[in-house]
């Protein structure tokens, strides 16, 4: 049995354990990585490489920055201000949260956006006496879908553009992605407000002062000076994340993970929270769950298991598929793969395949590649599909099946919207 087959078997077992939650999610994730290491599919060094990955470090740093907002009382204060203006209506708050998140994610990292807004949203939910589980998944979904709006909003957009450029085909413009990104964002918001909210869990609130990271009322300092410090640190982190790409032009490298850790250190040095409180602010389930899945995703890519899945599905299309059918199949394939592996890896794997299929049909490849890229950003069905989903797992108290219940119907909505709009904006046979 080859490495690809072994990887697929391990992934299948992990999928069952994720869905049933017979054992904790983080243990399933790490167990899968260790198993692949023992089988020799990945090296021992790779097994735990996720713990030092920049995204995991970003998670840890932002959890501390978020914790500072709670320990100083600023998150609750922001929550009171927002609720006093927007009211306590679940739908009105959801609309405001998803709109702000989607707009930010169009230009910033969706991971950084979710990490920055998470403590604020939990504070708003606590003051409005709405379970955080009702607002955090919409936050994550908005971050994922908002990234489609611009070329830099999410890695798949950049990858499909690079694939076109390498083939001598005119790439998409910076805002050209908005033709599908904005309709999908609107559809996602409408879906979550009308249908999705009924599919979300409703965890009862036992104490308004007890929010994310179990910060109880007697631990909140309510010191205006410390509130100012924690607010300025969060604002500085957001600005630094926005300016990251701009600063690179001047030879200054400021990755998101470094910004987050600097922010976390400043929170402790300024007394916004104590060292022990900083450690307790980190959601370790999120850290180990994501860290374990990264080597598994790498195994899917490097062992050839991902290519094997792609080849098997492409075989279903036959020798002469219609452009609509081919685009639909590639959308489903890209979307399915991205639930368990990096959207960057799934897009990088499928983009050249999609280009070759489009050329073989004599069709313009723009629609096919756009479908692949969009589908890779529709990672709503699992908590490990995208970092924003993983980030809200612990604070929202979600289970694996909560993502399936709310995420899979949303994927169906995105699939329908994409299959209608993409061929209209980017015709398969332009000029005919």
Which helix (H) or strand (E) segment holds residue 23: the answer is none
CB 286 within 8 Å of CB 118: no
The residue assigned the tokens 């807004």 is 117
Q: CA distances (Å), 384 to each of 16, 26, 42, 83, 159, in order?
A: 14, 10, 20, 31, 21
- The range of the structural domain enclosing residue 76 comes to 51-154+173-286
Radius of gyration of the chain (CA): 22
pLDDT of residue 212: 42
DSSP 8-state class, residue 173: P
pLDDT of residue 208: 39
CB 62 within 8 Å of CB 116: yes
Which helix (H) or strand (E) segment holds residue 281: the answer is helix 275-281
d(CA 41, CA 31): 14
CA dihedral angle for residue 38, residue 40, residue 43, residue 49, rounded to 10 degrees: -50
> Other CB atoms closer than 10 Å to residue 63's CB: what's the count?
29
> DSSP of 313-349, one letter per residue?
HHHHT-SS--HHHHHHHHHHHHHHHHTTS-HHHHHHH
Please indicate, yes or no, if residue 20 is contained in any of the structural domains: no
CA dihedral angle for residue 365, residue 371, residue 374, residue 375, rounded to 10 degrees: -140
Torsions phi, psi of 368, nearest 5?
-65, -45
The tokens of 258 are what? Answer: 């470094």
pLDDT of residue 79: 66
Please indicate, yes or no, if residue 126 is contained in any of the structural domains: yes
DSSP 8-state class, residue 379: -
Please indicate, yes or no, if residue 271 is contained in any of the structural domains: yes
Please indicate, yes or no, if residue 9 is contained in any of the structural domains: no
d(CA 26, CA 32): 10
Please indicate, yes or no, if residue 27 is contained in any of the structural domains: no
Please indicate, yes or no, if residue 200 is contained in any of the structural domains: yes
d(CA 256, CA 163): 26
CB 63 within 8 Å of CB 211: no
Number of structural domains the chain divides into: 1
Residues contacting 127, CB < 8 A, separation 6+:
76, 79, 80, 82, 83, 208
CB 251 within 8 Å of CB 245: no
CB 383 within 8 Å of CB 403: yes
The tokens of 314 are what? Answer: 């492409």
Residues of the chain with pLDDT under 50: 205-214
Please indicate, yes or no, if residue 188 is contained in any of the structural domains: yes
pLDDT digits (tens, 9 = 90+) for 379-412: 999 988 888 998 898 888 899 899 999 999 999 9
Please indicate, yes or no, if residue 231 is contained in any of the structural domains: yes
């Amino acid at each position: 049995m080859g490495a690809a087959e072994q990887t697929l078997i391990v992934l299948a077992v992990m999928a069952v354990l994720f869905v049933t939650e017979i054992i904790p999610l983080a243990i399933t994730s790490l167990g899968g990585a260790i198993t692949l290491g023992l089988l020799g599919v990945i090296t021992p060094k790779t097994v735990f490489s996720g713990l030092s990955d920049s995204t995991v470090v970003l998670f840890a740093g932002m959890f501390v920055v978020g914790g500072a907002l709670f320990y100083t009382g600023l998150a609750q204060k922001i929550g009171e201000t927002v609720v006093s203006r927007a009211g306590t209506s679940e739908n009105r708050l959801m609309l405001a949260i998803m709109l702000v998140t989607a707009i930010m994610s169009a230009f910033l990292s969706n991971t950084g956006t979710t990490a920055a807004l998470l403590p604020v949203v939990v504070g708003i939910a606590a003051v409005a006496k709405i379970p955080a589980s009702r607002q955090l998944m919409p936050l994550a979904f908005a971050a994922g879908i908002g990234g489609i709006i611009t070329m830099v909003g999410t890695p798949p957009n950049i990858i499909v553009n690079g694939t076109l450029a390498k083939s001598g085909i005119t790439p998409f413009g910076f805002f050209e992605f908005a033709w599908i990104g904005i309709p999908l964002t609107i559809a996602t918001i409408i879906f979550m407000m009308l249908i999705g909210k009924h599919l979300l869990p409703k965890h009862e609130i036992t104490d308004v002062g007890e929010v994310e990271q179990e910060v109880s009322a007697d631990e909140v300092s309510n010191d205006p000076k410390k509130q100012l410090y924690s607010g300025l640190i969060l604002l500085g982190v957001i600005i630094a994340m926005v300016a990251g790409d701009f600063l690179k032009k001047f030879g200054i490298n400021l990755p998101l993970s470094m910004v987050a850790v600097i922010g976390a250190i400043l929170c402790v040095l300024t007394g916004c929270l104590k060292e022990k409180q900083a450690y307790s602010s980190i959601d370790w389930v999120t850290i180990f769950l994501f860290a374990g899945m990264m080597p598994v995703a790498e195994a899917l890519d490097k062992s050839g298991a991902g290519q094997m899945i792609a080849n098997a599905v492409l075989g279903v299309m036959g020798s002469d598929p219609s452009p609509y059918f081919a685009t639909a199949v590639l959308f489903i394939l890209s979307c399915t793969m991205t639930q368990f592996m990096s959207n960057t890896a799934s897009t990088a794997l499928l983009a050249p395949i999609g280009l070759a299929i489009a050329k073989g049909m004599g069709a313009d490849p723009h629609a096919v590649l756009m479908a692949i890229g969009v589908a890779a950003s529709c990672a709503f069905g699992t908590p490990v599909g995208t970092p924003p989903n993983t980030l809200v797992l612990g604070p929202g108290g979600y289970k694996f099946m909560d993502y399936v219940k709310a995420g899979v119907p949303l994927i169906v909505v995105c699939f329908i919207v994409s299959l209608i709009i993409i061929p209209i904006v980017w015709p398969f046979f332009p000029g005919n």
